[in-house]
Structure 1
Amino acid sequence: MSALLIKSFQAAAAVAAFRFVKFAAPAADRSVAQANAATSPLVGVSDSMGAPQGGLADVIQAGLAEVRLGGTVSAGDFLTADADGRGIKCVPAAGEVRVYGAVAQAPGVADDIIPVLVGIGVLTPA
């Protein structure tokens, strides 16, 4: 993959490989944890190594990366995190801002690892 920006962050909890990560305590520090919802404050995608609790997690914040999927997606779908940090299609929800962390570059199904273009944004309710 050709990541443009990779930063190391201390892992507040264990982070698996190829998962969306979020700031664990955004008001307190820059530590990260595996994302667990479509509303998580995403930082980027963990690399192939992941990180143990207290270790350093290399997080791809821009460019090409790979994400393990939590469901079926199509190429071009905006992806967000499921409860285990896996990529799922980001779908707007009434009254709730959804955070996406990447755009799928290939179709896939649950547990596939696909290429993605990392870029963080939000979908707001209509």
Structure 2
Amino acid sequence: MNIPGLIVAKKAEGEVKPRLIVCHGSEDGLAKQATDGTALLIGVSTIVGGGDGEVFDVIRSGLAPVFYSEQIAIGDPITANSDGRAKKANSGDFIIGYAEVAGDTDELGSVWIAPGKQAEPILLN
């Protein structure tokens, strides 16, 4: 499902492939393909990626198509794997949002963009 909200242009820091999760680059105005959940995730690249230094679009809100890297269920919190594809988040990971549809490895799924950080579990005595 694709119902994007805010879409912004960024300059690619390194190659950014289509329909993958991105994070901020090293300077203002730059974005790069995410490689895990340790950095703030800011959006999903559109159907057109960008080569190093090229301008590309990033979906920052709404529903965005993204490639899955594993089996994902509706509602799973989503972070990035080493290739920028969606995977289930672990506690402490930055997330891009929540799966809008179920899917499997290499399928084009959908994420409801709601960036944040996956909470650590609270242990009660």
Tell me the alpha carbon deviations over residues 36-95 of structure 1, each in whole angstroms, 9 at most, x when there is no partner: 011122110000111111111200000011010111110110100000000000121xxx
Partner of 1:18: 19
How far apart are the structure 2 equivalents of 1:106 and 1:119? 15
Please, which of 84, 90, 104 is the counterpart of residue 99 of structure 2? 104
Task: Kindly tell me the number of residue pairs found equivalent between the two proteins.
Answer: 120
Partner of 1:3: 4
Name segments (4+ residues, structure 1) moved above 3 Å: none
RMSD of the alignment, in Å? Answer: 1.1
How far apart are the structure 2 equivalents of 1:64 and 1:91? 22
1:125 to partner: Cα distance: 2.4
Query: TM-score, with normalisation over the residues of structure 2?
Result: 0.91
How far apart are the structure 2 equivalents of 1:123 and 1:116? 15
Which sections of structure 1, spanning at least 5 residues, go unmatched? Answer: none
Query: TM-score, with normalisation over the residues of structure 1?
Result: 0.90
Q: Which has the larger radius of gyration?
A: 2
How far apart are the structure 2 equivalents of 1:29 and 1:8? 12
Which sections of structure 2, spanning at least 5 residues, go unmatched? Answer: none
SS at match of 1:124: coil
